[in-house]
Structure 1
Amino acid sequence: MTFRKSNCGCDIFRIFLVRFLFLQSKAKMGTLQNLLFTICIALRCVTSAVGVIHVTGYVGREVNVSCSYDEGYESYEKYLCKNDCGDSDVLVTTSESRKNKYRINDDKTARIFTTTISDLHSEDAGKYWCGVTRNGKDIYTEVELKLAQDSCCDTVTKIESYEGFSESIVCPYESRYQNNPKYICRGNRPSTCLQQALITSDNKQNGRFRLDDDKLLGTFTVNISSLTKNDSGSYLCGVKRNSELDVFSAVELKVKEWCCVKSIKIKGTVGQPLSLQCPYPPQHQDKGKFLCKGEQLNSCKDITNQSRFQLEGNGSFSSFSVVITKLEEADAGTYWCGSDSERRPGNYTKIQLSVVFLQHTSTLPSAVETLGKMSTQIPSNPIKNARHYVVYTVPPLLLLMCVFAFIVHKCKHQKVKEDEVVMNKNAQNEDALEEVTDAAKNNIHGNQEVVMCKEETSRQQR
């Protein structure tokens, strides 16, 4: 016959007391033997309840209850139960590994069986028993389950920073946790923090995150570089504990953008002086001024120690100027100037400087312009011997085309019979001379272009 967990653990003291009084009433040689027998029975019952397992879970999440057993019981049935562990109190067994919100798994190599309880509620807190089924009384181990809310914490440390900067989150812990693993995660849910950790003390560098543990001060610091607005939010600093819930502290990080930055663009010439104007609020009259160069404000390099850069104030106390005595090509880039050493929004100016070279222009007229002027000139002397000149009004480009066409035409027809050419030219010349005579009489002096071409036929006739 199989018995589930008995209540002998609760009656140990009563059994031992009754047996002790009974032995006192006897004065026999077997008194000591009977006493030892009674103690052994009591210890047998106590052994099954020694070593209470403490487990803590979060409401709404799941928790694992792990129980070990002795060698030789690998093939025996295991179970998890509540209350008196009657048949109705058994929650799940290895024979039926999944039941409602309970799952059980038996690792026979490690001789540990684990029960997972999911979707925890406040009524799930209390006492449980890990049992091993055997003939007679079962072997059991007591389990105490505590529940906590899956949120943190009563106090929150608030930190503000700006885009592009680096920020350090300092997480304190008690001295007894010096050698415990540390980590940090986003959000405010302790139940999943370790699984979603951004960085742990085992891996001190992870991208933009770095973790340093100062055991003497009892703090570990997480540095986040190159901040963006997406880094804003809640963070949890965690210290891992073995048998209890991890210890957490909460941090709220707010990353601001540089909404109030004044940005100007300036162009300078190589070899020439240049002045940069940097306004500042009146309340910063007595504060130190700065000028640095770099794409990011938090990493720009101070250049006021260079002799070519001179900071000068003015009488209005509303701005100061930076004079570059002789601009160089390498001076192009992004500059930051202001009057606030903390470089907060609105207290500095962003200057984008571009550099150009001095342009040299030529005074020589182009060939086309020269030709155009020559073609538009009107001779001051009257036209003589109109028989040898023809008057046309043409643009310069057309004149060039006429000269080119004439040369080609001459090459193609140089083998034509001389007599035939002479006869045709004579006939044309007579008509042309009459037209030239009429045109010369009615010619109007103005913006007309006169082109004089000597007739080839006159040369041939002579």
Structure 2
Amino acid sequence: MKVRHTLICCFFLSLQEGNPEVNINKNISFGVVGGNLTAEFRFSAGTWKIFCRGECEGENILINTTDEKHQRHRYSTEYIIVEYAPALSVSITQLIMSDAGQYSCAVAESPSSVSYQQFEVVVAEALLDGNDDQLKHFDKETGSSLTVGCSFNQAGGHKYLCRGECGEHEVLLQTDGEDDFKDRYRIGFRGTSEEKYKGSGILYVTITQLTESDSGRYRCSLNPAAGQGSFRDFEISVTDGVLLHVIITPFIIVVVVLSSLAVLIICIKRKSDRGLRTRGNSEGTNMEDVHYENCTPGSTREDSIYQSLDPAGRDQDQTYSTLTHHT
């Protein structure tokens, strides 16, 4: 699904003063892994169109062109008219998680006099559309973040992110607008302008700085209080990635060491057994010939070559065979 939004004067105000988890005065554009993202920004008329990842310098410059429409790899720009005003449309196709981050773009008369508009790209790990009967499960590590997109066949109304089923004490964040923040939680709602998806939208919910106590079942919902609400459920399991690494790494080392010792013991035993059998044959003792699997490839061939090249060994074998026959 292609998500297309117009970001013109989108300012997000902190609900909790001094909260470092809340982004202030940020243009935010949402997308889903594997999908496409398009955002539009109004500018004055200009010749140069610039699209960058972060600061516009060096390899961060994704597109720098005078063309009305330009594409480079998964990135593209198009100079368009929106409501009788010039605008720059920037797009990223086939989104991946590493696309999340800060971007900037501009339209200018010359590359030396540029005024950039900055925005943030948030990439959802999955899109929940209600077509999957199985509950979507996410495995996360402590300190990481999770963004999920919830697709609905309606737009607008009350948006909720809940821990559980949106009961009285289960609401984490609720808003009537398109975007809101509270503590570690974020809601962003984007309708779609595509004809076949008109009247529908995607509710993006984000939880940052996950802890093990965040493990559990969550719900994103539209208009649950009206009795005609739609919802999507998902589940999160949060584990301590550092602790897991500390536990697993020594275990792997122990397994490797023990396996190496076992192989070494087997090889020594087989070598000892072959030595005993060879000594028994040289003393003329009638010992049962037991075949062992060799530890290294090619050793059977090497033994055969050795025997064929050892005249004394062949004479002993022939003498032993003659004495046995006469007996």
Calculate the TM-score normalised by the size of structure 1. Answer: 0.25
Q: Which is higher, the Rg of structure 1 or of structure 2?
A: 1
Q: Which has the higher contact order (CA 8 A, sep 6+)?
A: 2
More strand by share: 2
Calculate the TM-score normalised by the size of structure 2. Answer: 0.34
